[in-house]
Amino acid sequence: MEYALFLGCTAPIRGKHYESTARKVCEILGVDVVDVPDFACCGFPLANASAEAAFLMAARNLAAAEEKGVGAMMTLCSSCAASQVHVNREIRSNRKVMDRTNEALAEFGKHYTGSIEVKHLARVLWEDVGVDAIKAKVKRDLSSLKIAAHPGCHYVKPGEVHDCFDDVEDPKTLDELVAATGATPVSYEDKKLCCGGAVLGFEEKTALAMAKQKLDLVKASGADAMVSICPFCSVMYEANQGKIEEAYDVEYGMPVLYYTQLLGLALGVPEKELWFRMNSVKPSEMLAKVVIE
Question: What are the residues binding other proteins (CB under 8 A)?
Answer: 7, 9-10, 12-14, 16, 19-20, 23, 35, 37-38, 40-41, 45-53, 56-57, 60, 104, 107-108, 110, 153-154, 157-159, 167-170, 189, 192-194, 196-199, 201-203, 205-206, 209-210, 213, 275
CB of residue 100 to other proteins, shortest distance in Å: 12
CB closer to other proteins out of 10 and 181? 10
| 53 sits in which H/E element | helix 51-68
Among candidate residues 64, 59, 44, 78, the one with its CA nearest the CA of residue 4 = 64
CB closer to other proteins out of 19 and 238? 19
CB closer to other proteins out of 57 and 183? 57
CB of residue 291 to other proteins, shortest distance in Å: 26
CB of residue 13 to other proteins, shortest distance in Å: 5
Dihedral pair phi/psi, residue 276, rounded to 5°: -60, -25
CB of residue 121 to other proteins, shortest distance in Å: 15
∠8-228-272 over CA atoms, to 5°? 85
Whole-angstrom Cα distance, residue 173 to residue 194? Answer: 17
Instruction: Report in angstroms the alpha-carbon separations of 94 from 101, 116, 180, 212, 228.
Output: 11, 15, 38, 42, 34
CB closer to other proteins out of 53 and 292? 53
Whole-angstrom Cα distance, residue 185 to residue 147? Answer: 5
